[in-house]
Amino acid sequence: MENWIDVGSVDEFSATSLKRVTVMNREFAFSYKDGTFGVLSNTCNHAGGPLGKGRLDGEYIVCPWHNWKFHRCSGKGEPGFEDDCVPAYSVKVENGHVLIDLNSATKRHKKPHPPHPLARKVERAPGPLRLAVPQLRWTATIHVSPALIICSITLSRRLANSRLRPGSSG
């Protein structure tokens, strides 16, 4: 059964090529190119990135988090990854308004991918907190707040950057 919802004027949605829109507590990625609208779920298959905040690359929406691509009308992944699909919705224009059918969603499908070559299981060994900070080339066993350590590292980096800038007096 169809469930067409008016989401706004054609002028509003054709003004930008990609837009995140919330309709009835659901988020969508609306795209517009060459006079045609496309509507996908706003959630990327990879890590849940906001597709509507990404960009268009030809006919594909590119996720802003990790650059996964999905066809802006069909929801299928880019060539070679067609089995990765995000839900796509039927869209039509009537009387100057854009309508989507909330009941027309295609199935989400996430193809299994091999783990990243550097991925490993994270295990916490017993004992005091040990932090390795390769940028400063030191390892220390300390008993302080991790937030304090991050603040100290940030301050150290900012001080180092200010000394190295051309034209700085320090």
Tokens read off for 54: 């990404």
Average pLDDT value over all residues in the chain: 84
Tokens read off for 40: 């996908």
- Count structural domains, the chain: 2
Whether the CB-CB separation of 87 and 75 falls below 8 Å is answered with: yes
Q: Is residue 117 part of a domain?
A: no
Percent of the chain with pLDDT over 90: 60
**pTM, two decimal places:** 0.67
- pLDDT of 125 reads 78
Tokens read off for 144: 């302080």
CA atoms within 13 A on the CB side of 2: 9
Looking at the fold, whether 76 and 9 belong to one and the same domain comes out as yes
Q: Is residue 108 part of a domain?
A: no
Looking at the fold, whether 22 and 77 belong to one and the same domain comes out as yes
Comparing 47-61, 114-128, 145-159, the range with the smallest average pLDDT is 145-159
Q: Is residue 22 part of a domain?
A: yes
- Can you tell me the distance from the alpha carbon of 131 to that of 126, in angstroms, rounded to the nearest whole number? 13
Whether the CB-CB separation of 102 and 1 falls below 8 Å is answered with: no
Q: Above 60 in pLDDT, residue 17?
A: yes
